[in-house]
Amino acid sequence: MKSSIIIVIFFALGILLGYLIDESIFYVSDDLSTYALHFLLFLIGISIGCDLKVFRIIKKLHYRILFVPLAVIIGTLLGVAAVSVLFEDITLNECLAIGSGFGYYSLSSIYITKVSGEVLGVVALLSNIIREIITLVASPLLVKYFGKLAPIASGGATSMDTTLPIITRYSGKEFAVISVFSGTVLTIIVPFMVTMFL
Amino acid sequence: MNTVLLCLILGGVLGYIIREKKNFLKHLDKITFISVLALLFLLGFSVGRNPVIIRNLHNIGLQALILSVAAVLGSAIVSFVVYKLFFKDIKADEK
């Protein structure tokens, strides 16, 4: 729990400094976070490589591994459909399309902006960014109340890259391979599902 | 996406080679945590300097928040059922 508070503090500090700092004086490239991510993935690779238990797990799981992305799709669509009644200006299908981004905000928000306009595009962008942020920040709580698959489910398409370090930390490295698998399946499926609902 | 897999595979190969070096591996968790902090700081930074996100944070942000909480809760609940039904043995494997 202490570590997740430190994580939130660093994230908030990042937002604050990003907002305050004048880019003409102090420029931070977006590439930097990409490099940090790649370094992290490399570290996760090391921890998987030095413990071959992971591969025994895949063999053991067999077809069951498919239930993870399936659970994410069903759960997400049920969730957003349930709250769609709260919005007067967003239809059920638009809610389902936003949900079908599964955290993959760049791709899904571009599609939605093109088809349904800029306002809905921004809702999709924010909603999918928030999904990623919730996963990054709330993974310890998700594990505690919903089990070790929950951060993978919450991460959606991002569970193969940006949220993978956090998922590995709180669900254990046994779940890293499941996480990459689920995230990959969802990433591939995003463009099909988003366009299907619009 | 290819770079992502490449990083994982390179790390995996290196990890396999040095799997007996327990001294180094002890520090791996610590280095990973520091990198997580750096990554989150940088992600926060790009959110903070994006004017579209910051300007719309209060009005459209609420709708977005409701949708993402619903998506997270929905998928967490269904994944909990899947976990209880099919993944119990992974949990037992850990220790």
Residues from chain A that touch B37, judged by Cβ atoms under 8 A, are: 6-7, 10
Look up the domain containing A76 and give its range.
2-197
B90 Cα to chain A: minimum distance (Å): 7
- The structural domain count of chain A equals 1
Count CB-CB contacts under 10 A for residue B49: 20
- pTM for the model: 0.77
A172: left (phi over 0), alpha (psi -120 to 50) or beta: left
Nearest CA-CA partner of B72 in A133, A115, A192: A133
More confident residue, A102 or A15: A102
The answer to whether residues B75 and A154 touch, using CB atoms and an 8 Å cutoff, is yes
ipTM above 0.85 for this complex: no
Distance separating alpha carbons of residues A67 and A99, to the nearest angstrom: 19
B63, HSE (Cβ side, Cα atoms, 13 Å): 22
A3 Cα to chain B: minimum distance (Å): 9
Q: Which of A44-53, A75-84, B79-88 has the lowest mean pLDDT?
A: A44-53
Specify the pLDDT at position B1: 54
Instruction: Give the whole-number percent of chain A exceeding pLDDT 70.
Output: 92
